[in-house]
């Protein structure tokens, strides 16, 4: 079923964090989710080895350039949601994953320098659209933003992307300790200990809004299947 690919040539853009947060939130809502860890550094697999991974969330690792398409097709045949986490480079693995995506999420921190890297991801997506003669829905996700302030630069960058026909998600991944902590302690925002990590409620709200917007975008692009 729908495949959501997190892509950006920039390391540290927030791909793995946002991918795991989305997967956990979909699993919390009761959907079976398969995360394909296609980054040779295996950040999602390392998270999954810690305690607290939701039962409905499966991680497929050891995916290579040769196996990524099979991995995506296999997962899509069994799970309602497939999420692909990629490494921060341009590679054949990245190109293949994008070619199979129902939605490509391009995480980017809200600076002009990061936006330039996100624009490279957009270029690659557009090449894949031409190569496969199909539309590949995609959107920028601003990450590590402030929950308190809405910087002008971010609005400016959003406007620039939109002027080039690239939508940005309304929901941003705010800079939240909880989104870091799940990689240290394992599990989900909900399973973290409120005594150890602050701001859990805000993080949970953020995760829900993010998942709702992603599901809404999938529905829009595949009305019959995702309805
Ligand atoms: N929303 C967020 N809130 C707090 N820290 C974040 C957030 N998103 C990413 N980070 C941190 O930023 C760094 C890079 O994030 P990561 O998800 O690994 O990026 P990528 O997968 O694109 O390389 C990590 O240290 C991660 O903990
Ligand atoms: Mg990563």
Name the band, by pLDDT with cuts 50, 70 and 90, for residue 23.
Answer: very high
Backbone torsion region of residue 218, taken as left when φ is above 0, otherwise alpha when ψ lies between -120 and 50, otherwise beta: alpha
> Rounded to an integer, what distance in angstroms lies between the CA atom of residue 67 and that of residue 194?
40
Helix (H) / strand (E) element for 178: namely helix 177-185
- The residue ranges of DSSP E strands in 110-151, in sequence order, are 138-145
Q: Is the CB of 12 under 6 A from ligand 1?
A: yes
Q: Which pLDDT score is estimated for 149?
A: 83
Is the pLDDT reported for residue 222 higher than 80?
no
Give me the domains of the chain, ranges plus CATH numbers: 3-226 (3.40.50.300)
Is residue 96 within 8 Å of 127, Cβ to Cβ?
Answer: no
Identify residues whose C-beta is under 5 A from ligand 2, the ion. Answer: 15-16, 43
Q: Is the CB of 16 under 6 A from ligand 1?
A: yes
Question: Cα(227) to centroid of ligand 2, in Å?
Answer: 30
> Rounded to an integer, what distance in angstroms lies between the CA atom of residue 139 and that of residue 199?
27
Question: Cα(202) to centroid of ligand 2, in Å?
Answer: 23
The residues, any chain, with a CB within 8 Å of residue 76's CB and separated by 6 or more, are 1, 2, 3, 82, 100
Is the pLDDT reported for residue 165 higher than 80?
yes
Q: Give the pLDDT confidence of 45-83 residue by residue, as tens digits.
A: 999 999 999 999 999 999 999 999 999 999 999 999 999
Q: Is the CB of 144 under 6 A from ligand 1?
A: yes
Q: For residue 145, what are its two tokens?
A: 């933003």
Q: Is the CB of 108 under 6 A from ligand 1?
A: no
Q: Is the CB of 143 under 6 A from ligand 1?
A: yes
Read off the pLDDT of each residue in 7-13 and give the average, rounded to a whole number.
96
- Strand order through the sheet with 138-145: 57-60, 33-38, 81-86, 3-6, 103-109, 138-145, 173-174
Is the pLDDT reported for residue 223 higher than 70?
no
Q: Which pLDDT score is estimated for 224?
A: 53
* 17 Cα nearest atom in ligand 1: 17
């Amino acid at each position: 079923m729908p495949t959501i690919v997190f892509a950006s040539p920039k390391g540290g853009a927030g791909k793995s964090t946002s991918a795991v947060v989305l997967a956990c939130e979909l699993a919390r809502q009761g959907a079976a989710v398969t995360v394909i860890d296609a980054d040779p550094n295996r950040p999602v697999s390392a998270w999954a080895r810690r305690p607290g991974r939701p039962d409905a969330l499966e991680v497929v690792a050891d995916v290579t350039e040769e196996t990524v398409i099979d991995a995506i097709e296999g997962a899509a045949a069994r799970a309602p949601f497939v999420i692909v986490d990629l490494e921060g480079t341009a590679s054949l693995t990245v190109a293949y994953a994008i070619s199979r995506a129902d939605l490509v999420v391009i995480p980017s921190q809200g600076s002009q320098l990061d936006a330039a890297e996100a624009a490279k991801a957009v270029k690659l997506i557009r090449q894949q659209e031409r190569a496969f003669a199909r539309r590949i829905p995609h959107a920028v996700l601003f990450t590590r933003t402030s929950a308190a302030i809405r910087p002008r630069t971010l609005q400016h960058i959003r406007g620039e992307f939109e002027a080039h026909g690239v939508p940005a998600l309304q929901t941003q991944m705010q800079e939240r300790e909880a989104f870091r902590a799940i990689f240290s302690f394992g599990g989900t925002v909900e399973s973290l200990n409120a005594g150890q990590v602050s701001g859990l409620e805000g993080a949970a709200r953020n995760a829900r809004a993010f998942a709702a917007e992603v599901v809404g975008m999938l529905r829009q692009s595949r009305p019959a299947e995702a309805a």
